[in-house]
Amino acid sequence: MNSRPIYKSLMIFFVVTLLLFCSSNKIQASEDHPFYKDIKEAYKDSKLTYDSKVERILYSKMPEPKDIFEQSGHGSEIPKPKSDEEERIMVQTTEALHRQFFKKVKTGGQYCPVEKIKKHFDQTPEERIGISSGGYYRLFVAYWTLKVRLEEHRQSNVSKHGYGNVCYVDSLLRFVESNLAGAFFPTPGSIQISETVRRQGIQELLKTFAPAMTIKELYEGADPEKTRWPVLK
């Protein structure tokens, strides 16, 4: 009895199974992710090594969401790492993304066309904050174009996969966006944080990720009434 056909069939089955397993843990090709170039640029600017190991971890599929809130993709917690190496890569990625954000604020960069802010939030930056240049304008544009691009990606994930944060880098981006929102564009609510505490939080962010920047530079041209805080002196 010739065992070659059976052996060949088993090998084909093994290869197909392996490919299916790999595809289930990597939803999409890394290059297709809308923030792929931004992540690589952030690593380069921070002088960090970006290799296949980093890419594999960042673009690995996250566990299925446990509830409706996780399914929505609005959560802002860093995923629980499975190893020290994963933790290191997640931390250095969020740090690099913070540095990249402040670089965009400094240089007037943005994450998507500024016109999309009006499309998503019904107001242009000029209509919302009353200025079209200066440090606060650049801060506003950098944050809200990040918010818009992330939201478009979240909606695309929900449409394609049924939930918002598909791979680990999605959650890391959401964490960074939420951290920046809490510092610069907090949602009004019942919990009031004093100007002193919020100012200290911003100073800590700048000290860690943009030591050459000052609060005065960030809020250049801002109308205190439209920024809600701080009352600039």
The DSSP result for 91-131, as a single string, is: HHHHHHHHHHHHHHHHHT--SS-THHHHHHHSS-HHHHHS-
Q: Which residue in this structure is represented by tokens 């966006």?
A: 177
Give per-residue pLDDT as tens, 8-49: 554 444 444 433 434 444 444 578 999 999 999 999 999 999
Nearest Cα neighbor of 71 from 166, 1, 145, 151 is 166
Give per-residue pLDDT as tens, 48-105: 999 999 999 999 988 877 767 666 666 657 778 889 999 999 999 999 999 999 999 9
pTM, to two decimals: 0.83
Residue 221: CB atoms within 10 Å: 15
Nearest Cα neighbor of 105 from 77, 141, 69 is 141
- Lookup: tokens for 224: 């205190």
90 and 77 in contact (C-beta within 8 Å)? Answer: no
